Structure 1
Amino acid sequence: MMLRMRTRLVLVLLLLSLGLISAQQQALMDYLERRLQAIEDRISLWHEQTSRYASELREVKQQMVTQLEALEKNKEGLRVDLDGLGGRVGRVEREMDYLETQKEAQPCVDVDDKLVEQQVTVAMERNKLKYAKLSGCTDMLSGVKGMKVLKRLGDSKGVWTKDLGTHTHTHTQGKVYVFNGTADDTLYQFGSTRDFTSSEGTALATPLKLPARWSGTGHALYRGHAYFMEEGAGLRLMKVSLADGSLVKSSLLPLPELVSPYPLTPDTAVDLAVDEEGLWAIYSTQQDPRHLALAKMDADTLALTQMWTTPCPRENAEAAFLVCGTVYVVYNSRLPGRSRVQCVYDVGEMGAADEAPLTYFPRRQGSHASLKYSPQERLLYAWDQGYQILYKLTMRSKLEV
């Protein structure tokens, strides 16, 4: 009896346990179904939002494409307008350059009473001792016809030129000489202008060792000799043979204490120049630092044979050159700016040649460290920020003025 009761009790307990397990499983299944439903709802919402975002993105993309097409059309229109504007600016600049060349030269006159008195005194003295021309040349500068950049060689300052006293007729003939920098003792000699332009640097040049170092950029070549101021030797002028570099003669120039004639090229104490009349020296003294002075030189003895105080102001002067006994001073008020001949002084007349036109050089981004005139070629050899340039000059007769 007891055994049956125990068996029934075990069965009851087993059935109760199975019932509890089933209830727990049902609760778990209900919970899982609710979670799955929530996930499905979120996935559905995500799909809905993704579709909406994709649609909006397509609309934005279409708007961007439309705007880019409009911008491209505007860009093309602006480019056409800018091209037209550039052409108009170019025409205006050419017209301004033409008008500038038509202006009469501004007279280089200082209104200071002392300067006027000094100029009158100089004119009277010059009238007593008139300059006697050697060549009979009556040409004067009427303009700069054109320019040609041949090469870029060396430092920003220097001198390149030919033996300006020899009889060469075109710029392709004759030897070319290069003074690179403002202080050195080696002169480079090229066999021709073609050798100069075709060589890499000084590869085709023959170096010529000089007996002393030069100073500045005021050197000149004349009749087989190089003339330059010796570095650190005050006013000692050197004359050296171009054949072998030997010293032919040296002399201390009998001049008062000097200041550089060109504020834009302060390394140059004396600028030596050559024209149809021979060798000249351009300088400025501390006694009159506001104006340029000029001296005619004897190329053989290095003596100063005649001297003039010009009315040309020293301020903003960058270089000068002579043609037929007339000095043309080149100015540049803004660095880099526009170089122009603004003061002209003829030693064979009573005063400055104020009939000469105000002459502008073709536009360059810099200033001239040196300008050397070739009488036979009617060319200017210029050094501008390391570029070697040729300027072709046009002339007219002084007798036509």
Structure 2
Amino acid sequence: MKAVLVLLVSTAWVFTGAQYYYQGLMDYLENRLLTIEDRMQFWHEQSHRYHTELQDFKKLTAEAMVVLKNEHGMLIRDLEGAAVRMDRVEREIDYVETHSSPRACANKADKVVEQGAWGLEEHRGEEEEEGGWEELQSRVSDCVEIISGIRSVKILKRVGSPKGMWTRDPRSSKVYVFNGTTGDRIYQFNSVRDFSHSPGVTSSTQIKVPSEWSGPGSAVYNGYLYYIKQEFGTDVQVVKYDLLSGTVIDTAMFPVDNHAAVYNLNPETVADLAADDEGLWLLYATGDSEPNISLAKMDPATLDIEQIWDTRCPRENAEAAFVVCGTVYVVYNTRLASRSRVQCIFDVNDAMINEEAPLLYFPRRYGAHASLKYNPEEKQLYGWDDGYQIIYRVTMKRKLLV
């Protein structure tokens, strides 16, 4: 009986301990659940507050976007109005310049430079003794047209250095790019279109010439490259290079001052070669003290000098020049680049008078031209302006004296 009582007491004790244990566990779980509920409530309140703030921010952003959109529209309208006014101002400036600015000076070919200094006395021969020299001078060019206007056709792209040159062979569609003011590489493209679509000069055909070209005064004519070579302490040379065979065909040395630049605003241009309807021309300065630009008519086959003139066009403030139909057009600017303009014209045939000399202004662009090359087949100028490649189309008219 006693044993049974002990067993009952032990069993009751065990049940009582288990009850306390489970009760404590339930209390713990209940406290944890209450804590979780409190945190969930807190997160809910925070989320609601964040949501409210986000809605307010979204509303403020939408209102600000509406204001910015309205201001952007007003700015666009103001810019369009400014562009219209700017176009009107430029047209008025063009009108004033056309009607009030002095016309370009059309110089007469009354001074033929003696050719003895060029070592070409033997080419004159009996012709000079018989008076044939003056007759030859009067028939230098058969062209009867002059430029009446210049307008920008297209700003093609921007490739390379601020100064350089690009041109197209009049007898083909190939384009040649001379990047910088000196180098031994030329970049060739199959067409103007290929050049305009190219990412740069890396996709071109690179031509390495045997000697470095000096200045942006080269010319490409009938499959040949004519470029200026100037080595330190030596005379200036014109090199004729066959672009197809990759060989030098001929060279001609000209005893001009190494330090004389043909254009005062582009001292890198030692001499400037130009090709037009009549052939190949060379613009140069005989010395640094010579104030005017000289012109030479060259035989593109032999590089012989056929005739030489003093254009009486000053080198001061000149930036570039080009030859069209045997007439030299010298382009001037200012030290602080302004609007390029033709202020001096020289006709080798004396078939132009001052009254018909055109007043030519280039459309205002980025800076000053480093080079201008005329293509007689297209009647277009290829300009290099502060690294931009620009095409100008020229309009022509008949000379009055012809």
Alpha-carbon distance in 1 for matches of 2:152, 2:180: 26
| Number of the residue aligned with 1:199 | 198
Q: Does 1:139 align with 2:142?
A: no
Say if 2:147 is the partner of 1:163.
no
Cα offset for 1:257? 6.1
Structure 1 distance, partners of 2:310, 2:188, is 35
State the secondary structure of the residue aligned to 1:128.
helix
Structure 2 portions without partners, runs of 5+: 1-69, 115-131
Of residues 236-245 and 209-218 in structure 1, the stretch that sits farther from structure 2 once superposed is: 236-245
Which of 95, 106, 115 is equivalent to 1:98? 95
Name the SS for the 2:111 alignment partner. Answer: helix
Separation in structure 2 between the aligned mates of residue 259 and residue 101 of structure 1, nearest angstrom: 33
Give the direction of change, closer, same or farther, for the CA distance of 1:218–1:390 in structure 2 (3 Å limit).
same
* Deviation for aligned residue 1:79: 9.2
Change (3 A) 1:242 1:103: farther
| Alignment-mate amino acid for residue 216 of structure 2 | T
Structure-1 residue corresponding to 2:64: none
Distance 1:342 1:206, change over 3 A: same
Question: TM-score scaled by structure 1?
Answer: 0.70
1:269 & 1:352 partners in 2: Cα distance?
30
- Scaled by the length of structure 2, the TM-score of the pair is 0.70
Shift of 1:351: 7.2
- Residue type matched to 1:311 in 2? R
Cα distance change, pair 291–354 in 1 and its aligned pair in 2 (3 A): farther
Q: Which moved more, 1:225-234 or 1:277-286?
A: 225-234
Residue 218 of structure 1 corresponds to 217
The CA RMSD over aligned residues, in Å, is: 3.2
Question: Mapping of 1:234-313 within 5 angstroms?
Answer: 234-255=235-256, 259-286=260-287, 289-313=290-314
1:306 is aligned with what amino acid? Q
Distance 1:207 1:381 in 2: 20
Aligned to 1:331: 332
Paired position in structure 2 for 1:359:
360
Runs of 4+ in 1 over 6 A off after TM superposition: 73-83, 123-127
Tell me the alpha carbon deviations over residues 84-119 of structure 1, each in whole angstroms, 9 at most, x when there is no partner: 566434312211113323456535499xxxxxxxx8
Distance 1:109 1:189, change over 3 A: closer
Q: 1:258 to 1:141 in 2, by over 3 A?
A: farther
> How many pairs align?
315
Q: How does 1:61-100 map to 2 (within 5 A)?
A: 87-100=84-97
> Percent identity of the aligned residues?
47
Aligned amino acid, residue 138 of structure 1:
V
Maintained 8 Å contact 2:356/2:400 = no
Query: Partners in 2 of 1:342 and 1:214 — Cα distance?
Result: 29
User: Larger Cα Rg: Structure 1 or Structure 2?
Assistant: 1
1:153 alignment counterpart = 159
Structure 1 Cα separation of the partners of residues 401 and 109 of structure 2: 26
Q: Distance in 1 between matches of 2:225 and 2:112?
A: 33
Answer yes or no: is the 8 Å Cα contact 2:333–2:339 preserved in 1: yes
Cα displacement (A) at 1:270: 0.7
Counterpart Cα distance in 1 of 2:248 and 2:112: 38
Contact 1:208–1:244 (8 Å) recurs in 2: no
Name the aligned partner's letter for residue 99 of structure 1. Answer: V
Shift of residue 192, structure 1, vs aligned partner: 1.2
SS in structure 2 at match of 1:285: coil
The structural deviation recorded for 1:313 is: 1.3
What is the aligned partner in structure 1 of residue 390 from structure 2? 389
Structure 2 CA distance for aligned equivalents of residues 339 and 268 of structure 1:
17
Q: Which residue of structure 2 aligns with residue 122 of structure 1?
A: 111
Question: d(CA) in 2 for partners of 1:159 and 1:75?
Answer: 41
